[in-house]
Structure 1
Amino acid sequence: MEVFTMIEKIQELLAQATGRDAADFADADENLFDSGLIDSMATVQFLFSLQDEYDITVPVSEFDRDEWNTVNKIADRVKELQA
């Protein structure tokens, strides 16, 4: 079984949610919303996948795009929620 880093797994989950290739998310500091890589519907799908993958809860009502707008920030938030 292939072992993914958290960044790689987040990129794969984003690809699944958006229908894009994981390589589209290779720049882990690119703003996903400003670049148009993800929209609001894909964001919800992605959050559900992220919660399932990492056994965390991301309250959609408390979702702040500025804290979740890059792959690196998503990884940081996941780590915080796992603690």
Structure 2
Amino acid sequence: MDVKAGVLEIIEDVTGEDMSNQMDEDLFESGLLDSMATVEMLLALEQRFNIQAPVSELSRDDWNTTNKIVASVTALMG
């Protein structure tokens, strides 16, 4: 399973934006993610990749760019 492609698809579904050319863009500072969108994204990531990503254990700084989300999902899978 291609984690990067899956994460990009989920982010696009949640935000309406293609982030493939902006992998280091801060999704919170740009206004693309807020608390509700983050929960929606996490639920989609958990379903797609069969991972557990408890909101209480997530630091916004660890999940604020597409590259960091890909890395975090990969770590949670492994």
Partner of 2:71: 76
Percent identity of equivalent pairs: 42
- In the TM superposition, what is the alpha-carbon distance from 1:37 to its structure 2 partner? 1.1
State how many pairs are aligned. 77
Pairing 1:47-58 to 2, within 5 Å after superposition? 47-58=42-53
1-side partners of 2:37 and 2:48: how far apart? 16
Structure whose CA Rg is larger? 1
Gaps of 5+ in 1: none
Q: Name the TM-score, length of structure 1 as normaliser.
A: 0.84
Distance 1:40 1:53 in 2: 20
The 5 A counterparts of 1:12-23 are 12-18=9-15, 20-21=16-17, 23=18
Q: CA RMSD in A?
A: 1.4
TM-fit CA distance, 1:47: 0.1
Q: TM-score, normalised by structure 2?
A: 0.89
Ranges in structure 2 where 5+ consecutive residues have no aligned partner: none
- Alpha-carbon separation, structure 1, partners of 2:24 and 2:64: 8
